[in-house]
Amino acid sequence: MGGWGSGPQSSEPDTSEAKRVDIRFMRKHGLLQPGYSSSLHWTCRGEPSGYIRYTVAQDASALTLDYKVQLYGGDWEPMKYTVPLEAMPCRYGGERQYFHCPNRQCARRCEVLYSHGQYFLCRHCCGYLYPSQKGDRLDKLLEAKRKIGARIFEDWDGVDGWCKRKGMHWRTFEREKRRYWQLEDAWQGAFTDRARALLGEGVRL
């Protein structure tokens, strides 16, 4: 399957491997005004890797996607279809817009549509995992610890120790730091269990 409109090809594809239409980005930059038309562009390693045109309906009830897709090295085929939009009230006033998956058998409310074959669909219809869902328990524990560390420590990757990030409340820092060390203990325990299992199977470490 070739072309930028095609989906990932690994046995366990994840969301990082697919092009996306992210309504959070569009909301932030004011790209969802009624009747507004523009395009979204993607890059790969700093180089252009495709684009998609869109138009917002005059009543802001839908978004029309307009692009071309190439499958299995064949000819480029035009694709044009509408994605329903829904405005939901926010807890503290105002409203927030969401996509509805264009797969009529799904119509799930979502904030991101991913390229899959000829279409852009919700993550569930694409069958994609989040990157954090891939890998074994050791990988997941390590990734969870890394995310917390990068968020709360000022110099987590440096040499000056684990200092509180500037601007973070101490109560939040202490709570997240406890979680960080709990994950570290869990990772150490999982690593020890893995090592013992390998030794029990006669594997030399």
What is the chain's mean pLDDT, rounded?
Answer: 81
pTM for this prediction: 0.59
Domain residue ranges of the chain, discontinuous segments joined by +:
15-126, 135-200
The residue assigned the tokens 């990068």 is 150
51-84 pLDDT, tens digit each: 999 999 999 999 999 999 888 878 899 999 999 9
Say how far apart CA 65 and CA 16 lie, in whole Å. 21
Least confident segment among 92-106, 139-153, 174-188, 191-205: 191-205
- The edge-to-edge listing of strands for the beta sheet with 20-22 is 20-22, 112-116, 119-121
